[in-house]
């Protein structure tokens, strides 16, 4: 099971540590869900998720401060005894000395952000979805062409990186070369990204590693992209039938999510980069409800 270290959370969102610093290294988050404790401050403690981050916004803090001092201290103490993994207070709201003492006593980390609650929860949830998503590593290249995320696969040496270079020279963006990390976000969405090490680099046989943004500028790369098409490069085999009409729609499956599959046979004289550009534009047209094959058959039937 994947977990997120609290230190990573602090660095990502520039959070202020206001209590429980001693327990930071021993706490982690394992759920993308976010919890706002409310019933606990009324005295109900039967359900408190210990794998989720806890958010205290203006509503929770206002209610706490409305309690008598003795009630506030009693309920906060019982709350911290349940050992929530981490608490984040939004809007830079002030906290009482007792909250800090109770958090330190139970080694529960309390953090604070100046962001308003709704905006912060939205950003936090998006971050958790990506960090805790299930992953799959694929041998291939990931590029973004006209805003369409494309995975380029094929046997070693078939020319995946060279095709990616041609696309970059045409103004498109590299996400990852050689090793692509796929992450499943939600029920069907796939995100393609790099592993951190291969970010910015393209490996070309006979030349070696090249740094793409240093050669082509910062706009030639991006950190991640949603995967919309899976393009598989195949050696051209004489006598093999290759669909030139588009009757057969095929898909690939990654992490139980289906992606439209296009197989492109390689032979001298074929401009594969141009074909991938056309595939990306054609995919966008299909998303808008237009089908070239249906249009063709309608015209054919009308002509007949």
Summarised one tens digit per residue, pLDDT across range 77-119 is 888 888 888 899 999 999 888 889 989 998 999 999 999 999 9
Sequence-ordered list of residues with C-beta below 8 angstroms from that of 50, at least 6 positions apart, any chain = 82, 83, 84, 85
Going from N- to C-terminal start, the domains of the chain cover: 4-131, 135-299
pTM of the full structure = 0.78
Nearest-angstrom CA–CA distance, 182 and 192: 5
Q: What average pLDDT does the segment 48-71 reach?
A: 87
Nearest residue to 266 via CA among 136, 132, 166: 166
172 pLDDT above the threshold of 80? yes
pLDDT for position 241: 66
**Is 178 part of the annotated catalytic residue set?**
yes
Q: Look-up: residue for tokens 């001092």?
A: 69
pLDDT in tens, 2-17: 888 888 899 999 999 9
**Three-class SS of residue 2?**
coil
71 pLDDT above the threshold of 90? no
Token duo for residue 178:
């050689």
The CATH H-level superfamily of 4-131 is: HprK N-terminal domain-like (3.40.1390.20)
Selecting among 50, 139, 281, 286, the annotated active-site residue is 139
Selecting among 54, 160, 172, 194, the annotated active-site residue is 160
pLDDT for position 245: 63
32 pLDDT above the threshold of 80? yes
Strand runs (DSSP E) across the chain, as ranges? 4-5, 16-19, 28-29, 34-35, 53-56, 87-89, 110-112, 135-145, 148-154, 173-185, 189-193, 201-204, 208-211, 224-235, 250-254, 257-266
Helices (H) and strands (E) in the chain, counts: 9, 16
**Of 216 and 20, which is predicted with more confidence?**
216
Beta bridge partners of 260: 251
Is it true that domain 135-299 has CATH number 3.90.1150.10? no
Nearest-angstrom CA–CA distance, 107 and 85: 10
**Is 139 part of the annotated catalytic residue set?**
yes
Selecting among 5, 51, 71, 178, the annotated active-site residue is 178
**Is 54 part of the annotated catalytic residue set?**
no
pLDDT band at 124 (very low <50, low <70, confident <90, very high): very high
């Amino acid at each position: 099971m994947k977990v997120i270290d609290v230190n990573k959370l602090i660095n990502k969102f520039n959070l202020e540590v206001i209590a429980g610093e001693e327990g930071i290294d021993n706490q982690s988050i394992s759920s993308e869900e976010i919890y706002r404790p409310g019933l606990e401050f009324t005295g109900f403690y039967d359900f408190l998720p210990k794998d989720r981050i806890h958010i205290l916004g203006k509503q929770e803090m206002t209610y706490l401060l409305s309690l008598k001092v003795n009630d506030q201290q009693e309920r906060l103490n019982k709350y911290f005894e349940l050992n929530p993994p981490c608490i984040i207070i939004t809007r830079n709201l002030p906290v009482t000395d007792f909250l800090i003492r109770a958090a330190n006593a139970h080694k529960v980390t309390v953090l604070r952000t100046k962001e308003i609650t709704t905006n912060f929860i939205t950003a936090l949830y998006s971050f958790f979805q990506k960090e805790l998503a299930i992953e799959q590593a694929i041998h291939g290249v990931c590029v973004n062409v006209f805003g369409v995320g494309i995975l380029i696969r094929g046997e070693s040496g078939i020319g995946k990186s060279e095709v990616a270079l041609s696309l970059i020279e045409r103004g498109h963006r590299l996400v990852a070369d050689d090793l692509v990390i796929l992450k499943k976000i939600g029920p069907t969405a796939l995100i393609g990204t790099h592993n951190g090490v291969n970010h910015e680099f393209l490996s070309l046989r006979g030349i070696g590693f090249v740094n793409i943004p240093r050669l082509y500028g910062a706009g030639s790369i991006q950190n991640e992209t949603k995967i919309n098409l899976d393009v598989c490069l195949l050696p051209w085999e004489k006598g093999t039938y290759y669909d030139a009409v588009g009757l057969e729609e095929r898909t690939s499956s990654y992490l139980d999510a289906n992606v439209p599959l296009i197989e492109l046979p390689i032979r001298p004289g074929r401009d594969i980069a141009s074909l991938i550009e056309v595939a990306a534009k054609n995919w966008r047209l299909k998303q808008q409800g237009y089908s070239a094959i249906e249009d063709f058959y309608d015209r054919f039937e009308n002509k007949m």
